Amino acid sequence: MKRFITLFGVLSLLFSLQFVGGGFEAFAAGTEAGDTFIDHASKGLETFWNFTGFANAHYTNFIMIAVGLFFIFLAIKYDYEPLLLVPIGTGVILGNIPFLTGYQIGLYEDGSVLNYLYFGVKQGVYPPLIFLGIGAMTDFSSLISNPKLMILGAAAQVGIFATFLGASAMGFTPQEAGAIGIIGGADGPTAIFLSSKLAPTLMGAIAIAAYSYMALVPVIQPPIMRLIIPKRERLIKMKPPRAVSKTEKIMFPIIGLLLTTFISPSALPLLGMLFFGNLLKESGVTERLADTARNAMINIVTILLGITVGASTQADYFLTTDSLKIFGLGAVSFMVATAGGLIFARLMNLFLKGDNKINPLIGAAGVSAVPDSARVVQHEGLKNDPNNHLLMHAMAPNVSGVIGSAVAAGILLSFLM
């Protein structure tokens, strides 16, 4: 040990001597130019100070850092979508550390590491990969066993189009309005995908709004459910879904892929990956690929997506009146989508007889926040009747909401690109 310390001690001394020599040289050069050693030191310190975050800070940076910390707090304390809010919250902090521009540090500076990672968001690479993972982990059997519940997924997309209308009325361009409207789909990856194509400048605000409202599903949806669905209808018990054969499960992604992408080819990256992931799962012969898609890959992409979307909220880009408007429109959009699903479910009951009647609460799961809104429906169902389990039934409109919002995104793309 003694030898080790001696050896490395001598080596470090030799290295430091080299610097001291350099320092003397610099000092000599300085004195030649008429500067004193103290002048040099103060200049060096001044340069260092100019590089620090303190010198470049603006009060807006601190506001955004507080927002990031709040996201992390929500995720840890209340368990609101922690897998999303922790990376996004950290990203918000990362993106708002003040720095001297021009040194390839920030997300928006070409050549910076964050800029390279942001490429996946900017070019819409990450959302389809997330959809691949979602497809590989989703069981569509509840939907296949009772396909008529799919219509609730379409009904809830009213939020997207109502917000599109509202955003246009508020003065946004049609492209921006389309990108804002997709928040009503309650689908983060779709929102990022569409906004990266239609309104890249608003993407940070749209993504943050979409993910925030997804995290707030347990807060936003229950009051609307209680408002729209009367108590006696909340007690309706649905008959258990029939068992679905393996052939049907394999046919679903293939038929779904062909039909939906032929109708809306612009949504091909999203729907293609979603159904491909599901085929990997259901085929039963590609378990290794399905396992990677639903675990390792989706986790990696979620980390990259969360951190870069968070970092894209640099105060100077994010803290604008447009962002406030987007947050307001997003909230309305989410409420309209939930209400749309619920009202349509009640409407469907007028045409259904006997034990085919559905519990209208599952209409709220038509928004595609998988599986949070289905979980909220289950929770509300149990509150009214502890023996009424609605989770499996709610998963049907929930996954059809994913398909519906991706189709809607494709339609908006084809109209507005």
Partner 1 sequence: MNLLIVDSMTWTITVLGWFIVFVALVFLIGVFLTVPKILTWGTRRALRKKNRMAKKEVVIDDELVITGETNAAIAMALHLYFNEQHDEESNVITIKEVKKRYSPWSSKVYSFNNVNFPR
Binding site for partner 1 (CB under 8 A): 143-144, 147-148, 150-151, 153-154, 157-158, 160-162, 164-166, 168-170, 174, 177-178, 240-243, 245, 247-248, 251-252, 255-256, 259-260, 263-264, 400, 403-404, 407-408, 411-412, 415-416
Please identify, using beta-carbon distances, which residue of 311 and 370 lies nearer to partner 1: 370
CB of 338 to partner 1, least distance (A): 16
Please identify, using beta-carbon distances, which residue of 30 and 241 lies nearer to partner 1: 241
Please identify, using beta-carbon distances, which residue of 61 and 260 lies nearer to partner 1: 260
CB of 165 to partner 1, least distance (A): 5
Sorted by sequence, the CB contacts under 8 Å of residue 182 that are 6+ apart come out as 160, 190, 191, 194, 195, 206, 210, 405, 408, 409, 412
CB of 412 to partner 1, least distance (A): 6
Please identify, using beta-carbon distances, which residue of 302 and 378 lies nearer to partner 1: 378
CA distances from 134 to 37, 276, 417 (A): 63, 10, 27
CA distance 338 to 225: 8
Please identify, using beta-carbon distances, which residue of 114 and 162 lies nearer to partner 1: 162
CB of 305 to partner 1, least distance (A): 25
Greatest C-alpha distance within the chain = 99
CB of 160 to partner 1, least distance (A): 8
Sorted by sequence, the CB contacts under 8 Å of residue 105 that are 6+ apart come out as 99, 112, 114
CA distance 203 to 98: 21
CA dihedral 141, 143, 145, 146 (to 10 degrees): 170
CB of 357 to partner 1, least distance (A): 18
Closest CA to 401 of 156, 222, 220: 156
Please identify, using beta-carbon distances, which residue of 204 and 410 lies nearer to partner 1: 410
The pair of three-digit structure tokens given for residue 244, joined into one six-digit string: 């679905």
